[in-house]
Each structure stands twice: as structure tokens, then as C-alpha cells.
Structure 1
Amino acid sequence: MSPADRAKPGIPSSVDWAHLHASSPARKQRESGASAARQASTVRDVTASEHPPAQATVHEGIEGWTIDGSSDDQSILDNATALLDAELPDPRFVSSDYLRWAYRDNPLGRAVERHQMVVVEGKPRLVAHYANMPRRYRGPDGERSNGAWSQNAVVHREHQRTRHFSRLGLEIYDEAGEGGWSFVVGVTNKKSTGAVVKYMGWRLVGPLPVRIVTPLGRGQRRTRHLEISADFLDSDRFDEFAATVDRHRVSGWTTDYTPDVLRWRLACPHTRYFLHIADDVALITTRSSAGPIPACVVLKIFPLTSGKATVDATRVIRSATRWHRGAFAVYAGFNGSVRVRGIRPPRRLQPSPLNLIIRRLDPAIDQDAITLDTFEFLDMDAY
């Protein structure tokens, strides 16, 4: 059975690549202040009992209790944010706004979550967390399939060998499969890949290709550049743009960016996005840096065509990089309808290679037959 056979109309771990983020004094100062604010806003105000709440599940032989995230209790998101910030620090964890956006505000529905609590020195502690976000995929014949994106797998450093993550993951996959979700996509680093493939049923697709594009050479003259703001997302201009993208033909599965899904994705808290529109292609980018060197990060490439012909996005990337005043642009992933000409950096020079992994959620699906046409930074949770 293919994912499309279970498709229904209407209806997925943190990346270690470091987003090329800078270590400038200003950023360090901001993040230092943000860290203090996080401790004050998400840890101090969390209240919890030593005993399992009514909605929790206690498993025989397992220390503590499991919360599934279906409750609107604010402390669930606060605890998860604090754990993620402690183990996988990132500016997005300055507050629980990011997890609320990711887990609660998705127009396709709520995430499937698991939170493992144990009592340590008389106080409850969140020691493991994991979630799968709902995602709809578009197939070669225009079919749609409800699937997921794997996100935010984290275990407290003092509880690494308790196997909480594998148990929580298998619970999530079972629940998602029972809910009609077909397959889940994720990325992992080299260190974690073997474990999730061996113990959790994932299939390794391979490392994501990376291209470095310099601003030198001919660019695309007729390119419009703008920052994506809340006002733009609520405007007729965005509606007109969203109606023209992601309508090209594909040879495998790709994220289905409907206007509502694209609007939600570009409203991610604590991230600035930029749009660059040329005649036959549009880019979504963000700004970053490698130390003191500014960079343009290409998050998504939308061919503005409906046919099968491949579009070359290199010139538009050069123009976007110049507009950002970047020394170079980074593009990671692949797009079946787009060609990007650039330098392939050696794997040994990349801080943490990203491995693409896929897992079926519906046991009737042939996992080896699931192929992706397109997978780029915007399809992840790196930015």
C-alpha cells in the first residue's frame, strides 16, 4: 500500500547544524539575557505535584509517569521549553511561544506529544520529551497524504540511559498511525542515526546535500526583495503569492504548502524570513553568519511554473545574497524541480551532517517505497 491509499482530504529532533549562528558579543549578550529570562519565565513559574496528574499514564516497571500533551496546561509547554533550552540551547526557547506555535497553532491540528516526568529529590522533573507535528504531503499524481514531521527529541543529561526516548517514540508512532497518518520524516546527526534505525524502525535515506553559492557572477536583475512581516502574511499580496507557489509537478512526496500552512510556517516566532521573487522562481531566506562572516541561508525554493522543466535558481540566490550583503549563501537539501549550482563543502568541514530519515506510521505501507521529491530547510525545524 502507498501513502496515498490512506490519504484523507483536510489533513515532523532539533537540528545540530547550529544554523550557522554567530558567536558575536552582541548575540552572546542577547542570549545571556534571554537565558536568564527563560529561567525566570518558564522554570520559576512551573508548578507540579509529586504525584501523577489525572491525565497522566503510569507504566508498570517505568519510573515516573507520562503525559501525552493533550491538555492545555501551560506548565507542559513551559517544562518542555526549559528542558530543550538546557539540553539543546537555542534563541527560540526564550519562552514557550515557539512550542505553542509548533504544537498548538498548526492549521493541520495538534502535535502528538509525550512528556516523561520523574520525581527527583522530592520534586517532579521532566526528563524526556518528543513530538511529531502533523504535515500533509503532496504526491506525483496530485494526491495528498497525512503524515508527520519528527521534532524536538530531548532527554535530560542525567537520564540518558533510561531508554525513555525510544519508548516515547514508539508510543507516538502507534498513536499517529492509528490516527490515519501515513509516514513521518526527520533529520538526525551521525551519532544518533544508528540508534533510531536499529531500535525505532527508521530508514536512513542518506546525508542531505549542501551547496555554497557565492554572490559573484551574474544575478537575476528582475527580482523583488522584501521582509516577511505579520502585516504581509495578513495581506492580499501574500494571498496572491501563496496561490502561485507549490503547484509544480513532483516525482515523489513533498510538503503541501497550502496558503494556510505557508502562512503559519512563516509566522514561526523569533525568526526573520525574507522573500525574493523572480520571473520563474521564488526564494524564502533568512540571515545568519559563520563567526563574523554574514551569510544568506536559502530555506525554500518555489518554482513559479506548472510544468516539468527544471528551473535554475542560482542567479536568484546570488541576487538574494547581495541584497542580504552576505559573503555566501547556504542551501541544504534537494528539490526535484530546481537546480542549484555551487560548491559542495567536504562533510568533514560541516559541523554536524544532517541525515534524512523516514519511517512509516501505517504498517500497511511499504517503507522502502517512500521517496521524497523535495526536502529543504523550511521543511525542517532548523529555522
Structure 2
Amino acid sequence: MDGSPGSISPGDVLMRHGYTDDGRDLGPTADLLNLVFGFQPPIGSDHLDWYYRANPQGRASVGRAYDNGQLVGNYALVPIQFQSSHGPGLRLGLGVDLSTRPDSRGTGAFRRTVEDSYRVGTADGLDGILGVANAQSVPRMVQTLGWRRLPDCPARFIAPLPDSIPTSSHLVDAALLAGSLPDQALPQPTSPPPTGLGTLWTANLLRWRLARPGARYVLHLRDDVSFISTTTIHRRLRIAVLLKVLARHKRVNSVALRGLAATLARYHRTPLVLHWGVNPLVQGGGVSLPRRLMPSPLGLVLHAFHADGVPRMDVDSVDVTSFEFLDFDAY
């Protein structure tokens, strides 16, 4: 079982005395994730190296479980910074890639993996975990592990309504990422939302996020905001996805979602524009999707780490008011 002398490699011994993800081979982790999630095409070590190790906000805190030397569980906490206008922010671990081998289920591998992530994340100074889970996983995290479920974020289709605001659109590629456009898109760090907590974005963070291996993004620029999009196919329908809206200046008036949707509809050549999440910068509701019609309804769950028995945050007071697709790894 995990932790027995014969079940861990020298790299695992380093992990016991270190904290964040070390320089071990990520191939076994990629193999586990491909086995559990059936990624097509399969992900490789390059994807995990980008996600776990290249984040400007710090390396991931990775919880793992082993049985007889074999990796059977993985849970990575990718650092994400939340800021507030009315107090200190939070440095959370965005919980991703929670997986256990199918043949290890019933052995306690799930709990061992999650508890190891608690150990590593606590040692790394994270305040807790923010999980984005599907409808099947949310009850397990809440009922079995005692996490708090946050209010659901809306998913909605936005009816495009063209406006006269000049906008430029740029397909993201290596040349764009190496150039100055990300710095122009975010010339200064984003400001906190008027209420609640929102993710902190910088040009370097945006450059890293848009460099996700295998992804295809478009960066759209207006004088007031930058916004990022991609496309997906659902039941043979092409859908443009609005991933994130970011203010380019300290003081920006709210923007109409329907105007942004018109840009996406025109660029991606589809009338279907999807947005998920909350952002006080945007206005206009769109047509909300009932949860039963979503291909994989998403919920937010929260867990606080402790220091000397004292929780590092009050989970009951956490109110996330700015969080969208680009803040995690849905696309």
C-alpha cells in the first residue's frame, strides 16, 4: 500500500521531504490520466509539464497514491490567485486531474490521493482547494470529504447583437505568444471585482494559459477589454465558446455580452455562442441552459487547509464573483 518502504521509488522519497511537484518523469501520470479519462488524442508529458510546472504562479502541488510501486492515484493543485477589494485575497490550488486506476477502486486509493494533496498543498502554503467537478463528483466531495459546494455558475447561449465597437481578432500561435500582443492585451494586472473574489490575471499568466499544448484559441482586442474564444462541436453543431473577458484598464464600464458574441459569431462563422461562469464586467443574460441539457454540468466545491488546527480561510464566507472557462482547464 501507499507509503510502505517497498512501494515508493527514490523520487517518491524526495516528495516526502519536498513539497511542490518535483522533476520526476510525468509519463506514468499521463498514462494514468489517459487510462481513466480516455483522452483522444492521448495527452503526453508535454501537456503535464506545461500545466504542472510552467505556471507563472508556481508549480502544482501534486497528491499521489501508490500500490506496490505503481501510480494508482493523482490529484494536482494548480496555484490560482484570487483577489478582493475588501480584504486579503486567497491563494488556492485549482484541483485538476483527480483520477484513480479502475482496478484500484475499493482499496482507498481515492481518499489516499486526496489526503496526500492536502499534505502537499498545506506544506506549499495554499489556503485550500477550489475544485471544478462534474455532477457525479460534487456529491462525493461534499458528503464524503466534507467540502462546501459553492453556488452554480450559469451556462448560457448568447444571442449575437452587432455593435460598432472596433475589435481585432488574432489566432493564437507561437509567434503571437512570443510577441508583444499578450502584453498589449493586459498592460497591467487585472483589478479585483467590486464584491467577492475574482482571479488575478497578468500578461505573463495569459501568455502561459494560451500556450496550452494542442489548444486553438483566438485573442480578441477592443480598447476597453480583451476576450478569448475557441470552438467546440456538440451533436455536429459548431459552437463558439467565450472563455474569458478581461479589462485592459483599471476603470472599465461593463460590456454587453451580445456585442462580444457578435464578434465570435462572425469570426467563427456560427450563430451559437456559449458562455459559462460569472464576471461582473459583462452584462446581459442570454438563454440559460438547464443542467439536464448540459453535456457535463459543472459545480464548484471548496476545501480549507489548516495551520496548527486553524482553517486558513472561512469557507462559508467565500463568494466567487469572477470565474470563467479560461480560469480552469475545460478548454
Same fold, judged at TM 0.5 (above): yes
* More off after superposition, 133-142 vs 271-280: 133-142
Deviations 1:9-47 (A, max 9, x none): xxxxxxxxxxxxxxxxxxxxxxxxxxxxxxxxxxxxxxx
Tell me what 2:146 maps to. 201
Q: Is 1:164 paired with 2:113?
A: no
AA at the equivalent of 1:118: D
How far off is 1:221 after superposition? 4.7
Q: Is 1:192 paired with 2:137?
A: yes
Tell me what 1:138 maps to. 83
AA at the equivalent of 1:307: R
TM-score of the aligned structures, taking structure 2 as reference length: 0.88
Q: Is 1:129 paired with 2:74?
A: yes
Q: Is 1:339 paired with 2:272?
A: no
How far off is 1:347 after superposition? 1.6
Deviations 1:146-170 (A, max 9, x none): 2211110011112222222222212
- C-alpha contact 2:64 2:117 (8 A) present in aligned 1: no
SS state at 2:150 partner: strand
Q: Of the candidates 372, 376, 380, which is equivalent to residue 324 of structure 2? A: 376
- C-alpha contact 1:247 1:306 (8 A) present in aligned 2: yes
Deviations 1:228-271 (A, max 9, x none): 22221221232122215623643122221122211111111110
1:159-308 equivalence runs, <5 A: 159-215=104-160, 217-244=161-188, 246-247=190-191, 249-307=193-251
1:223 to 1:205, Cα distance in 2 relative to 1, 3 A = same
Deviations 1:30-77 (A, max 9, x none): xxxxxxxxxxxxxxxxxxxx85313436xxxxxxx9x97744232xx1
Deviations 1:337-363 (A, max 9, x none): 211431112221112210111222241
Q: Of the candidates 73, 78, 81, which is equivalent to residue 24 of structure 2? A: 73
* More off after superposition, 299-308 vs 334-343: 299-308
Tell me what 1:101 maps to. 50
How far off is 1:372 after superposition? 1.1
AA at the equivalent of 1:299: L
How far off is 1:219 after superposition? 4.0
1:149 to 1:305, Cα distance in 2 relative to 1, 3 A = same
Deviations 1:57-114 (A, max 9, x none): 6xxxxxxx9x97744232xx11111111121122464321111101111122221112
1:115 to 1:199, Cα distance in 2 relative to 1, 3 A = same
Deviations 1:163-211 (A, max 9, x none): 2222221222233223322232111112111111123231101322111
- C-alpha contact 1:211 1:332 (8 A) present in aligned 2: yes
- C-alpha contact 2:83 2:192 (8 A) present in aligned 1: no
How far off is 1:278 after superposition? 2.4
How far off is 1:322 after superposition? 1.6
SS state at 2:74 partner: strand
AA at the equivalent of 2:316: D
Tell me what 1:365 maps to. 313
Q: CA RMSD of the aligned region, Å?
A: 2.4
- C-alpha contact 1:245 1:302 (8 A) present in aligned 2: no
AA at the equivalent of 1:278: R
Q: Is 1:152 paired with 2:101?
A: no
Distance 2:188 2:261 in 1: 20
1:308 to 1:200, Cα distance in 2 relative to 1, 3 A = farther
- C-alpha contact 2:188 2:202 (8 A) present in aligned 1: no
* More off after superposition, 95-104 vs 305-314: 305-314
TM-score of the aligned structures, taking structure 1 as reference length: 0.76
1:53 to 1:198, Cα distance in 2 relative to 1, 3 A = same
Tell me what 1:114 maps to. 63
AA at the equivalent of 2:318: I
Q: Percent identity?
A: 28
Structure 2: tracts of 5 or more residues without a match: 1-5
SS state at 1:94 partner: coil
Distance 1:73 1:248 in 2: 36
SS state at 1:207 partner: coil
How far off is 1:305 after superposition? 4.7
1:83 to 1:212, Cα distance in 2 relative to 1, 3 A = same
Distance 1:85 1:340 in 2: 39
- C-alpha contact 1:101 1:268 (8 A) present in aligned 2: yes
AA at the equivalent of 2:84: G
SS state at 1:279 partner: coil
AA at the equivalent of 1:197: V
Q: Is 1:349 paired with 2:300?
A: no
Equivalenced residues, count: 319
1:290 to 1:112, Cα distance in 2 relative to 1, 3 A = same
SS state at 1:294 partner: strand
AA at the equivalent of 1:164: A
AA at the equivalent of 2:103: E
AA at the equivalent of 2:24: D
SS state at 1:326 partner: coil
